[in-house]
Amino acid sequence: MKNLKAIYLLSLFSIGFYSTSAQTHRYMVFLSDKAHSAYSLDEPEEFLSTRAIARKIRHNVKIDLLDLPVSTTYIQDLASLEVDVFFTSKWMNALLIQTDSSTLLEVVDRSYVDSVVFIAPGARLTYENIGFEWPVTFEEPNNPLESSELQLAMMNAHQMHEDGYRGESMLIAVLDAGFKGANLFEPLENVFNENRLIAAKDFVTNGGNPFLYSGHGTSAWSTIASDYKDFIGTAPKAAFILCVTEDVASEYRIEEYNWLIAAEYADSLGADIISSSLGYSGFSDVAMDYTYEDMDGKTAIITRASNLAIKKGLLVITSAGNEGNDSWRYITAPADGPDNITVGSVKSDYSISAFSSQGPTVDDRIKPDLVALGQGTTLLTSNGSISQANGTSFSAPLIAGFSAGIWQAHPEFTNLEVVDHLRNLGTRFEDPDNYFGFGIPIYLTAEDSLIETDTTMLALSEFASDGISIYPNPIYGNAISIKIDSKIDIYPLDIKLLDLKGNNVSELNVLTAQSGGLISMDISMIRAGVYILILSSDNISRKIKLIKY
């Protein structure tokens, strides 16, 4: 028999710092079982959407006891104690409640209660539904000339969009601190007008208005969803679920549980992808703090929640964190998750951002997984300005939208196969490290010679075909070398280097064979980016993707 009083005294000890009176606080109540459930696994349509069920069937994800909602009998019994039960977690079989410490003793004494955990002080949750609506006419943003060209070009996302992969049919859940202003300005207007905002929910206050607090989520979301002039997101035609889980007023463990509950909400609606620009290591209550030793992929609450979301078939994209140049230095939870895609930040010159959190995890796994432009990222702010900002909070959603296009192009993939594919598309996938991870993912067309029939990318360090080798690739210096086998009749040879818009940035004409078959091409005046090298003569035609740092 468990020591219920000890559990209760532990809770009192935890909140003693905040109050000596019987004030209201927030707790997670973990239940011992799911007995007396009003639902059955034989009828999943009662607790999962048609889309969610179809997604699970398509990717062979089992609907099991984790999916079954918590016991309504237990919820009703706690409500009889005048305990406010605001949210439930079916994956962890728990209830998020708000009550005072005297009533908590009665909660702990219930036979079906396994444990109770204090997660935040004070009463923050409400039953008052504030509600929201968006205008018929959206306002034009400030600085409309700011462009997202660079952040797209780094991943060849322009080509992905031209090939028809803009996120259509994909459902992305964005978990953040709030979306203030997102319902007011033209860059996100099409999402509303085309009914692609499937759901929006505030888990911090339960007030019903996700557009009331913080513009952090607005900025992150806009890098995915914007569809406005020169400011285009990575998945401008995807559908979305918006969830407020981060309380900007303070930092307590409740935010991890908010994330868990929001992830379950997204899963039940059939979301494909979670984009999360949040990370946790230190809290307002130092007793809740994590240490680096906790970054093991299985300890932090939010990391465990991320793992469960992935188990249920979702693709989870999360920011690495912005602690790279402070005392913590490492990734923050849930960036330590083994099967999520953790995203760091690079600058416009493709070098790592000093603030970008680094790996490895404490069990020595490579993190981050990928990087994207997180320093000088073009985005929408809550006051309607199209501007630039810094943070892995903005490189992560770029990858989330990019992954939506990749999954749209490969609907047969499971979420874990998408994870592998994204890593394989990285510019450093043969030699990953704990700063860049596997590098910047590059979209490759069906015509690209770097993809084999099994969709695995060949080594970028060298391209070889029919006696022609191009190296190095990626390029860190000022020249590339083209080696031609002496047996090949290839001359005269025209060599052109094009940017992703088709502009000719360098050209070379070689009339006769060179000594050793080696041709050197100076690219010292060319900026960092992704390019297409075209070799053509009467006998051959080759198109090769190059990446210059």
- What is the three-state SS of 153-210? HCCCHHHHHHCCCCCCCCEEEEEECCCCCCCCEHHHHHHHHCCCEEEEEECCCCCCCC
Cα gap 457→424, rounded to integer Å: 6
Question: 148 vs 276, 340, 546, CA distance in Å?
Answer: 20, 26, 21
Q: Count the neighbouring beta carbons within 10 Å of the beta carbon of residue 480.
A: 23
DSSP 393: H
Q: Cα(531)–Cα(156) distance, rounded to whole angstroms?
A: 9
CA 308 to chain centroid, in Å, comes to 15
Identify residue 229 by its one-letter amino acid code.
K
Cα end-to-end span (Å), the chain: 63
The helix/strand/coil state of 529 is strand
Distance CA 62, CA 68 (A): 12
Q: What would the pLDDT profile of 398-407 be if each residue is shown by its tens digit? A: 999 999 999 9
Query: In sequence order, which residues have a C-beta less than 8 Å from that of residue 516 and are 6 or more positions away?
Result: 483
Look at strands 493-499 and 529-536 and give their pairing. Answer: antiparallel
Q: CATH fold of 149-424, please?
A: Rossmann fold (3.40.50)
DSSP label of 144 = T
Q: Give dist(CA 84, CA 107) in Å, integer.
A: 11
Two tokens at 530?
């992704």
Task: Give the span between the Cα atoms of 451 and 43, in whole angstroms.
Answer: 43
C-alpha pair distances (Å), 352 with each of 344, 391, 460: 8, 12, 20
Q: CATH 3.30.70.80: which residues of the chain?
A: 4-120
> For position 152, what pLDDT does the model report?
94
Cβ proximity of 174 and 259 under 8 Å? no
- Token representation of residue 236: 């401008």
What CA–CA distance (Å, rounded) separates 470 from 465?
9
3-class secondary-structure state, position 130: coil
CATH class of 4-120: alpha beta
The CATH 2.60.40.1930 portion of the chain extends over: 463-548
DSSP state of 212: S
Four-point Cα dihedral 461, 459, 434, 445, nearest 10? 110
Give one DSSP letter per residue of 5-65, joined into a string.
HHHHHHHHHHHTTT-SS--EEEEEEEES--TT-S--TT-GGGTS-HHHHHHHHHTT----G
Closest CA to 27 of 111, 120, 110: 120
Q: In what order do the strands lie in the sheet with 197-202?
A: 197-202, 239-244, 171-176, 273-276, 315-319, 341-346, 370-373
CB atoms within 10 A of CB 153: 17
Distance CA 403, CA 441 (A): 9
Question: Residues of the chain whose pLDDT is less than 50?
Answer: 1-13, 15-17, 20, 447-465
Q: Which one, of 363, 370, 295, lies nearest residue 333 by Cα?
A: 295
Q: Name the CATH superfamily for 463-548.
A: Macroglobulin (MG2) domain (2.60.40.1930)
Give the other-Cβ count within 10 Å of 516's Cβ: 9
419's tokens? 């994870």
Report, in angstroms and rounded to the nearest whole number, the Rg of the chain calculated over CA atoms.
Answer: 26
pLDDT in tens, 299-341: 999 999 999 999 999 999 999 999 999 999 999 999 999 999 9
Bond prior to 474 in cis (omega within 30° of 0)? yes
Q: Name 530's bridge partners.
A: 547
Q: How far is CA 67 from CA 8, 40, 59, 240, in A?
A: 29, 10, 16, 22
- Count CB atoms within 10 A of the CB of residue 244: 29
State the pLDDT at residue 372.
97
CB-based contact 93:69 (threshold 8 Å): no
CB distance 185 to 141 below 8 Å: yes
Give the CA distances from residue 53 to residues 44, 64, 168, 307, 416, in Å, rounded to whole numbers and listed in that order: 8, 12, 19, 19, 18
> What per-residue confidence (pLDDT) applies to 549?
66
Give CATH 3.40.50.200 domain extents, the chain.
149-424
Residue 393's pLDDT is 98
